[in-house]
Structure 1
Amino acid sequence: MSQIVGQGRDSRWVALVVLCVGMLMIILDGTIVNVALPVIQADLDFTQSGLAWVINAYLIPFGGLLLLAGRVGDLVGRKRMFLGGIVVFTVASLLCGLATTQGLLVVARFVQGIGGAMAAAVILGMIVTMFPEKREQARAIAVFSFVAAAGGSIGLLAGGVLTEAISWHWIFFVNVPIGLVAFGLATRVVPGERGIGLRGGADVIGAVLVTAGLMIGVYTIVKAADHGWVSGHTLGFGALSVALLFGFVVRQATVAGPLLPLRILRDRNVAGANLIQVLMVAGMFGLFFLGALYLEKVLGYDPLRIGLAFLPVAVGIGGLSLGASARVNARFGERSVLIAALALVAAGLALFTRAPVDADYLVDVFPSVALMGIGAGLGFPAMMTIAMSDATKDDSGVASGLVNTTQQVGGALGLAVLATLSTSYTNGSIAEGAAPLQAMTGGFRLAFAVAAGLVMLAVLLAVIMLRQPKAASEELVPVPVPVG
């Protein structure tokens, strides 16, 4: 990164590093918790389905508020929104670390998601503004993309190290000094700009509708394991969720300043890439969440070994997303690369359905996580390029926000579905007399099979819906940047 800083004649490259530090903290927090979940579950007495809320309480406000946060950033100034988000995120991290009850942890995670959305929504727009020249802009976005892609995978390892060496509380406490440093540096080196003013308007009602609809939807799925899929509770709350989301769509079609102009969804690449991302991320979050529980509860791994077990995912994403993916995309085209990458991810999930009670890591786990790392490292950059390829200058900010939103929504909904299916199968098997360890493993296998099916559906949609972006290789793929 020092080489990057040295390339600029002004403070823009230093500002880029500061923005990337803020983004790394936010992205890393989305996965660092996964490795510590078994310890958190035991310490705070969560059920397996209830444990999903430790993740979902972060993902839902993050995904639901990204579009609104981006719009408010345009109104009041992106730097102000970024700094406010860092403050909210850092304070919420402190509360998460201090949590001694389920309720406090879940509420603090929700506030963390709000802060994460506030900061993350404006970072890419600030980078584009700081680097208007196309080649410099491509180099800056390459660094940002690498941090965003690799940060989640690094969190898996960091979570294991912190949980094993100190305690799970420190996976949150570690954000406090990082947040303070990022805030202090950002106030000095990140350039500020005037917003267009609050009279420009922000669709707060739309943000409330989409966030409430998603939150109730996830709640409905999680509680279906307790109440039954066709119970009045499940059907009633499910209908309320659908009604709220339908209300959001209607409002976007009629309000003067929508959060999500529906016209951008008429483009096959924009709509297809975002739908594919929902399915892909749903499958991957299933592996990270349930895979961590499988390694701990069935194989007896401690948090550090769980983090190391997922290291091939971090290496694959980090190693391929910065340089190799751009060259592969230029050679074969983003559409072809994405289809192949999705197939690798699906294969990795399918292999995990063989997971036995007495698994050997090199035989039963490593092939799955290695395929996942390669597939994700190649797939995410190709998918981002396709999703943004047809966006006009006026719609590029909305298209970028939509990509971030579908990523978080896919993770939250996928996690809720897979965790609930796994819990329901395990409880049913135990009720029929199966040994607890066998029943638990069977539940994990079912979830991995469904996750693989979701990603295979994504492969089918990619074949049917997507078109190769015109001149994407020359215009939109970030130029690799030396990092050292």
Structure 2
Amino acid sequence: MPEAATGLDPRRWKALAFIATAQLMVVLDATIVNIALPSAQADLNISDGNRQWVITAYALAFGGLLLFGGRIADLWGRKRAFITGLVGFAGASTLGGAAANEAMMLGARALQGAFGALLAPAALSLLAVMFTDGKERAKAFGIYGAIAGGGGAVGLILGGVLTEYMNWRWTFFVNIPFAAAAAVGAMLVISEPADARNRSALDIPGVVLSTLGLVSLVYGFTRAESEGWSEGGTVAMFIAAAVLLIAFVLTEAKVKAPLLPLRVVTDRNRGGAYLSLGLAIIAMFGLFLFLTYYLQIVKDYSPVKTGVAFLPMIVGMITGSTQIGARLMTRVPPRLLMVPGFVLASGGMLTLTQLEVDSSYPALILPALLMLGLGMGTAFMPAMSLATHGVRPSDAGVASAMVNTSQQVGGAIGTALLNTIAASATTSYIADHAAQATTRPAQQMLKLESMVQGYTSAIWWAVGILLLSAAIAGVLVNARAQSGSAGAGAKDGEPSDAAGEAEPALVAMH
């Protein structure tokens, strides 16, 4: 039997470095362009009405094509899909950095999203099929989980540095060395098991229905943020999404070789992982959005200083993922990491509900970010591992795509829902206190106070959403500790916790 298939090939640890590099590139790209958007908008003469499409074009292509990208990885082979995704993403980034007008920029962002939808599930499914030993899987997913959770904050830092000291175009060009290093490394060291391919015919009706359904859903939430929840186009998008996704599920239940075998999502542990992750991302996107605004507008931080302010959360995520999650995943059931992790993160979010205009960063924001990072890192790592645990190797790509889909849809919901809540609370606060602001300084203070009131109102909702994530993990997730074999090749329908009983000792970290 080939070494790669037995889990004994030492090259897979080198492969992990390149997979992690690619994942970091995709995750940070979701936030790095946000920082550069004002400069790019001015240079390319993009109207205020169209600037949202720089973000939306990426989100729609990425979210809509994820399931298709995951199944392509199953069909082609993850290594080939991974390298193709990297090359395409680098090409699209080059196009974006060289953009001479609005159309060129929007086209580049859509291409980035499309190739990202191929790259992201290929990266995660490579981990799923290459690391099948429970202890080694814990280490690999610990690293991956830290990057997936903290990459957005890294994007804020890198975006600020590049925009402030170089040029907004470098927020695109910076992807090229990431992609080149990961692609060359993948060609040299990645070796996936030979029996992990899915050679079934592609489910074309499933591709069309899932892509149109997910695009309608993501665009519905994006439109709700700018146009309102009751606006005709928004309602139409949600109705279309519901019809298309219901039709997709009915189709998948009948076709011989479905795009998304329903066994992947009906397993209670994987379903619980997808749902709890998606909800947690709703809360996380709210945090990035409101805390970025708070630090830059209320506290007058520069883009670079704002990014650096998020560093404690990254440190917390890395610690929670690699030093808590990875060490305990083979010893305790996943829910005993996910539930406390989400509860701790909700405690950090609860601390941020106390924000005021003059709040101290060291006394209030710093401890809140540490709690959030530690909690999220501890919860994300076993959740991501569980989401692909026990799945058939031939379904690893589409199971991984479901992780990314839950995150992408969660991000769209979080941005739209929490921003709407914040805007409503801000408007209400101004209406209640406007009569008292009779001088210019008082009016300026009222503006800042109303913004903070809006942020904290939305953050209260984020607290509740994180507690709901914890409750879902506690109720649905009943897998045992993931020690021994990770169940690659397990037959769906068998318990996905078939990895066996817990190891008596902690995993030794290298």
* TM-score above 0.5, yes or no: yes
Counterpart Cα distance in 2 of 1:77 and 1:265: 22
Counterpart Cα distance in 2 of 1:374 and 1:196: 34
Distance 1:474 1:49, change over 3 A: farther
SS of the aligned residue for 1:301 comes to: coil
Q: CA RMSD in A?
A: 3.6
Specify the alignment match of 1:447 in structure 2: 458
- Contact residue 94 and residue 172 of structure 2 kept, 8 A: yes
Residue 456 of structure 1 aligns with an amino acid whose one-letter code is L
Choose between structure 1 and 2: higher helix proportion: 1
Residue 465 of structure 1 aligns with an amino acid whose one-letter code is L
- Contact residue 327 and residue 507 of structure 2 kept, 8 A: no
Specify the alignment match of 1:241 in structure 2: 241
Distance 1:9 1:192, change over 3 A: closer
- Contact residue 142 and residue 481 of structure 1 kept, 8 A: no
1:123: Cα distance to partner? 2.6
- Contact residue 222 and residue 420 of structure 1 kept, 8 A: no
Q: Residue 118 in 1 paired to residue 128 in 2?
A: no
Distance 1:430 1:201, change over 3 A: farther
Specify the alignment match of 1:472 in structure 2: 482
- Contact residue 134 and residue 483 of structure 2 kept, 8 A: no
Specify the alignment match of 2:468 in structure 1: 457
Counterpart Cα distance in 2 of 1:240 and 1:355: 39
Residue 454 of structure 1 aligns with an amino acid whose one-letter code is I
Specify the alignment match of 2:351 in structure 1: 351
Distance 1:81 1:33, change over 3 A: same
- Contact residue 138 and residue 330 of structure 2 kept, 8 A: no
1:12: Cα distance to partner? 4.8
Distance 1:408 1:136, change over 3 A: same
Residue 23 of structure 1 aligns with an amino acid whose one-letter code is Q
Distance 1:356 1:150, change over 3 A: closer
TM-score w.r.t. length of structure 1: 0.84
Counterpart Cα distance in 1 of 2:380 and 2:173: 30
Q: How does 1:125-140 map to 2 (within 5 A)?
A: 125-127=125-127, 140=140
TM-score w.r.t. length of structure 2: 0.80
Specify the alignment match of 2:267 in structure 1: 267
Specify the alignment match of 2:69 in structure 1: 69
Distance 1:258 1:48, change over 3 A: farther
Counterpart Cα distance in 2 of 1:46 and 1:221: 22
- Contact residue 264 and residue 399 of structure 1 kept, 8 A: yes
- Contact residue 223 and residue 234 of structure 2 kept, 8 A: yes
Deviates more, 1:65-74 or 1:341-350: 65-74
Distance 1:305 1:351, change over 3 A: same
Deviates more, 1:382-391 or 1:309-318: 382-391
SS of the aligned residue for 1:181 comes to: helix
SS of the aligned residue for 1:411 comes to: helix
1:376: Cα distance to partner? 0.9
- Contact residue 87 and residue 183 of structure 1 kept, 8 A: yes
Q: How does 1:87-166 map to 2 (within 5 A)?
A: 87-99=87-99, 104-127=104-127, 140=140, 143-166=143-166
Distance 1:196 1:148, change over 3 A: closer
- Contact residue 67 and residue 210 of structure 2 kept, 8 A: no
Residue 32 of structure 2 aligns with an amino acid whose one-letter code is I
Counterpart Cα distance in 2 of 1:47 and 1:356: 33
1:148: Cα distance to partner? 3.8
SS of the aligned residue for 1:71 comes to: helix
Q: How does 1:74-473 map to 2 (within 5 A)?
A: 74-99=74-99, 104-127=104-127, 140=140, 143-191=143-191, 200-224=200-224, 227-330=227-330, 332-392=332-392, 395-426=395-426, 433=434, 435-467=446-478, 469-473=479-483
Specify the alignment match of 2:493 in structure 1: none
1:307: Cα distance to partner? 0.8
Residue 311 of structure 1 aligns with an amino acid whose one-letter code is L
Deviates more, 1:395-404 or 1:473-482: 473-482
- Contact residue 35 and residue 292 of structure 1 kept, 8 A: no
Distance 1:95 1:232, change over 3 A: same
- Contact residue 68 and residue 202 of structure 1 kept, 8 A: no
Deviations 1:114-149 (A, max 9, x none): 111212222344455556777666655555445444
SS of the aligned residue for 1:405 comes to: helix
- Contact residue 35 and residue 306 of structure 1 kept, 8 A: no
Counterpart Cα distance in 2 of 1:199 and 1:104: 37
Distance 1:310 1:108, change over 3 A: same
1:194: Cα distance to partner? 8.3
Residue 314 of structure 2 aligns with an amino acid whose one-letter code is A
Counterpart Cα distance in 2 of 1:66 and 1:226: 25
Distance 1:45 1:446, change over 3 A: farther
SS of the aligned residue for 1:358 comes to: coil
1:88: Cα distance to partner? 1.6
Deviates more, 1:84-93 or 1:354-363: 354-363
Distance 1:457 1:192, change over 3 A: closer
Counterpart Cα distance in 2 of 1:466 and 1:446: 30
Counterpart Cα distance in 2 of 1:129 and 1:474: 14
Deviations 1:280-306 (A, max 9, x none): 011001111232122112221111111
- Contact residue 330 and residue 473 of structure 1 kept, 8 A: yes
Counterpart Cα distance in 1 of 2:459 and 2:424: 14
Distance 1:133 1:430, change over 3 A: closer
Counterpart Cα distance in 2 of 1:448 and 1:45: 34
Deviations 1:9-50 (A, max 9, x none): 875544443333222222232333455566667777989997
Counterpart Cα distance in 1 of 2:278 and 2:508: 27
1:321: Cα distance to partner? 1.2
1:205: Cα distance to partner? 3.4
Counterpart Cα distance in 1 of 2:292 and 2:359: 14
Residue 80 of structure 2 aligns with an amino acid whose one-letter code is R
